[in-house]
Structure 1
């Protein structure tokens, strides 16, 4: 897996100050995507153990709330397989940090049903995420007033509550 960028103090992609990892590779190609250079799976730099260590070091700071993974598309199957061991490492080493993922997939229709976006690690990856922002960017639904998302079709999902209840539970930022 490659990555296009790491932001070590990001305030736009989740609650608080976050470290954001922009993975490379996306076959969705949403019209007017804000990060279209990351569609290419070979864009950027290889995601290595040294990259993981650098991110974990940044996450270890007390003022950092957690990690956000976006792209490209983190739920491309080959990205899922590469990112899961890293997410599990963060969960073990930094259990109090939150993990947010952004995806153009919809949870019920693509990530939880058999098809292109699922593989043997999808469910385990979903179980290790606190918040999932799902749905493709749709230009004619763009709304600058939305918090942590670009278009009104996108949802901010509390993954822990969703998996416990078996139904989508939207994230409540008053938690």
Structure 2
């Protein structure tokens, strides 16, 4: 997997102060995507142990609330294994930190293993999934943590227990 950027401090992609990684590769190609350079799976740099350690070091700071995974597309089949290894390392070291993931895929497709070999396993490691592609015609700048009104903020553990998407309530 390649990555486009690691942001040690990010306040836009989930609640609180976060660390974010933008992975490379996306087949959704949403009209007016804010990050179209990340559609190319070869864009950026290879992700490896050094980058994983950089993220873990960032997350060790007490003011960092959690990790956000963006792209590109973290759930692209080519990215799933590396992303899964990263989130498992984060969970093992920082169980108190939350993990958010932005995906153009729908929760139901990921839950039902319709996207790649590791989609269910990866989903189980997340706290919140922002799902659905960005749709220009539904763009709404007033929405919290998403760009278009079709996108949902999903409480993943509650959704997996319920067997259906449960929206994140945003309670802080």
Band of TM-score, shorter chain? over 0.9
Q: TM-score, normalised by structure 1?
A: 0.96
| Secondary structure of 1:64's aligned partner | coil
Q: How many residues in Structure 1 have an aligned counterpart in Structure 2?
A: 172
Q: TM-score, normalised by structure 2?
A: 0.97
Instruction: Rate the CA distance shift 1:114–1:20 in 2: closer, same or farther, 3 A.
Output: closer
Per-residue CA shift, 1:59-101, capped at 9, x if unaligned?
Answer: 1000000000000000100100111111111100111110000
Within 1, Cα distance between the matches of 2:12 and 2:74? 18
Q: Which runs of 5+ in 1 are unaligned?
A: none
Are 1:134 and 1:154, in contact at CA under 8 Å, matched by a contact in 2? yes
Shift of 1:113: 3.3
Report the equivalent of 2:66: 66
Q: Which runs of 5+ in 2 are unaligned?
A: none
Within 2, Cα distance between the matches of 1:168 and 1:31? 26
Are 2:11 and 2:17, in contact at CA under 8 Å, matched by a contact in 1? yes
| Secondary structure of 1:68's aligned partner | strand
CA RMSD, Structure 1 to Structure 2 (Å): 0.9
Structure 1 runs, 4 residues or longer, greater than 6 Å off: none
Within 2, Cα distance between the matches of 1:114 and 1:174? 29
Are 1:23 and 1:73, in contact at CA under 8 Å, matched by a contact in 2? yes
